[in-house]
Structure 1
Amino acid sequence: MLKSVLATNSRQLALISVLLALVLVLPSVAAQCSLKYVRLNVQYKDCFPTRVLTTACQGTCNTYVRPSPSANGQLERFCQCCDAVEMRQNRIIVRCPNPDDPATLRRYRLRLNAPLQCVCRPCSTIPSDLVGAEGTLFDKRDQKDT
């Protein structure tokens, strides 16, 4: 009987461990970088705000900072940002007061760039091995204090 209870508890513990690992390791699918529809209020000069439905890149990408396995006291940084790959140019019309005739409105045609496709790209071009100096500075400060 005791063996049966221990075996059941072991299986339950293993299942809970696997589920917890999946929750912690797998990113949320809904939050991944993707193309979304958004509403914008476009304001141009003294014109009336115009509400526009357009696309935007939103979501998360793989990013981390961890201790470097090869450089003592350094950090390894990896950063990706959600960015547009392809763009299209939409034209919108805004209505503006006519300074020459307050009873009429002038119309302006504006261009609005909108993404067509989104991907995760590197956030910057600074190599991660150049970003380790602050740890060295803190180490030197700590040595002076002792």
Structure 2
Amino acid sequence: MSFIRLITRNVLALILLIIVSSCAEETCETMPTEIHVTKEEYDDMGRLIRSCSGEVSVNKCEGMCSSQVQPSVSTATGFLKECFCCRENFLRERLVTLTHCYDPDGLRLEDEDRAIMEVRLREPDDCKCYKCGVDECQMTPVIHVLRHPGCKPKAIPSFACVGKCTSYVQVSGSKIWQMERTCNCCQESGEREATVVLFCPKSKNEEKRFMKVSTKAPLECMCRPCGSIDESSIVPQEIAGYSEEGPLHNHFRKTL
């Protein structure tokens, strides 16, 4: 009985936590802060002309966003997690002035043209709670339509990488006039090859009416730096009438 009471107390505590989290007020706001900015200027030969610095007031996103964890029978971990983060909704661009400029020898510049420097930066203009990024990149069975000029298209069972990956953009810490971007996409990790025969009825040479072509498919999938993806030649296997993975392994082999 003590074990049952313990479980009951834990469940009640979890329910209370969920209620408190859902009722908590979100306070994701745009707030002022101050950063130290340094920028160097070079001539066409790569030689340092001057170095300028200053304290600059900028906006930042800060606050609290509601998150929760609750039991789930449909997830692999047994818990359904919903996490929200305070981040920018819009960015604005503006000029800031650096008033402490020095020559390569460290001497303060006083002349009007070189004593100050204007730099351009971007900062949050509005902030909002967004769902935190979660990497979910998985290999999914699809139908790949192979095409070649003069040959009839042929649909074969294949694989595709499908999912979502975390990306972000922020003001650079070392170059505040630039933005740092990290974009990850669900892509292949390793590959497998297959040789498929296409029927080419328009070929004048009878021996070339059957053409062997090579195609590839992912071996595994993971979040990697983004690249272009051609989605026009694949469709889900369920739509094409393939419900089993059996045919997939018959024509594909791992690339050595």
Percentage of identical aligned residues: 29
Counterpart check, 1:121 vs 2:240: no
TM-score (norm 2): 0.36
Change beyond 3 A, Cα 1:27–1:65: closer
Correspondence for 1:59 among 127, 146, 163: 163
Higher helix residue share: 1
Structure 1 gap segments, 5+ residues each = 1-9, 125-146
Tell me by how many angstroms 1:119 deviates. 1.4
Instruction: Tell me the residue number matched to 2:143.
Output: 39
Aligned to 2:191: 87
| Distance across 1 between alignment mates of 2:199 and 2:214 | 14
Q: Say whether 1:110 aligns with 2:213.
A: yes
Say how many residue pairs are matched: 111
* Map of 1:18 onto structure 2: 67
Q: Which has the larger Rg?
A: 2
Give the Cα separation in 2 of the matches to 1:74 and 1:27. 23
Which amino acid in structure 1 is aligned with residue 213 of structure 2? L
Query: How big is the shift at 1:92?
Result: 1.1
- 1:99 corresponds in structure 2 to 204
Cα shift readout 1:83-108 (whole Å, capped 9, x = no counterpart): 2111111111111114256xx98222
Root mean square deviation, CA, Å: 3.3
How far is the alpha carbon of 1:54 from its aligned partner? 0.6
TM-score by length of 1: 0.59
